Amino acid sequence: MLTGAGLGFRREMLDELDELRAQRPDFLEVAPENWIPFGGKLGRQFAELAQEFPFVCHGLSLSIGGPAPLDIDFVKTVKRFHDQHNIVIYSEHLSYCSGDGHLYDLMPIPFTEEAVKYVAERITVVQDIMEQKLAIENVSYYAAPGQQMTELDFINAVLEMADCDLLLDTNNIYVNSVNHNYDPETYLKGLPTKRIAYGHIAGHYNEATDLIVDTHGADVIDPVWVLQKKAYQHHGLYPTLLERDFNMPPMPKLLEEVQIIRDIQIKHGPFVGRHAILENTVKTTVETLAEGV
């Protein structure tokens, strides 16, 4: 069972494995596209890490809302990668990134009933191949073309129709709340607790007072940490991962933010429900983490 505080893992972190192991995130996340092509030394290094840490996969190119047909061969490859390395969750963005070619960005899906049905059917195909639920992430977006529903109603409708899981990104909620002028806590409370598989938290860039760009290239700011606390208060504890994609600080600095996630979780613990730690290990785990604070 996945619990605790995790870190997004990138290939350049292979040079900092000693520091990573010293503080040991509870789980790691990778984009499968960045590892599937590699055998040899990189393949062996990943296989060794997968023996040490629980892993989740967060995809970049499934393009679940895109107009092009799903890449079934790619999904089958991800399935083999999961099985080979005992990866526990496959997540993707509730967006699209391809049409006639790759767009190299996450494009917004129209918030319409037609799009709900279209996306839900595609998620169902992926889940059937993976033989597990797909976790879809609430994404940041900067325009809402053809909008007929609220963002919250749209994602809830997709979750229900596809019977899939949710990757809850608190930074994306905060970013969208500023860019689209809504209350982030109201949105947060409107999400279904039972579908939360795990969470993301990240930093962003303030382009203007009313425009935030979701960069994953800075430290998490205080209002997002506050929103994360409110997420736990409302939904209970769920595994949460720090995303950092560029402007990478040294590993000890990254792990300081992972420790902040742990500190918040300790104050709101223990994990319950689908994220419960076995009863006889809860007390020991919390005490061990507290000693390191």
pLDDT of amino acid 101: 43
96 token code pair = 């699209």
In this prediction, residue 107 carries a pLDDT of 67
Residue with tokens 């325009």: 143
User: Which range (26-30, 44-48, 203-207) has the least confidence?
Assistant: 203-207
**Token pair listed for 287:** 């005490």
Per-residue pLDDT reduced to its tens digit, 253-267: 999 999 999 999 999
Mean pLDDT of the chain: 89
Please give the single-letter amino acid code of residue 163: D
pTM value is 0.89
From the candidate CATH numbers 3.40.50.450, 3.20.20.150, 1.50.10.10, 3.40.630.30, the one assigned to the domain spanning 5-291? 3.20.20.150
Residue 271 dihedral angles phi and psi, to the nearest 5°: -65, 140
Radius of gyration of the chain (CA): 18
Which tokens hold the place of 73? 């061969």
pLDDT tens-digit profile of 79-126?
999 999 999 999 999 986 644 444 445 667 889 999 999 999 999 999
* 213 against 202, higher pLDDT: 202
pLDDT surpasses 80 at 42: yes
Query: How far is 245 from 215, CA to CA, in rounded Å?
Result: 8
At 45, is the pLDDT very low, low, confident or very high (cuts 50, 70, 90)? very high
* Main-chain phi, psi angles of 123, to 5 degrees: -60, -40
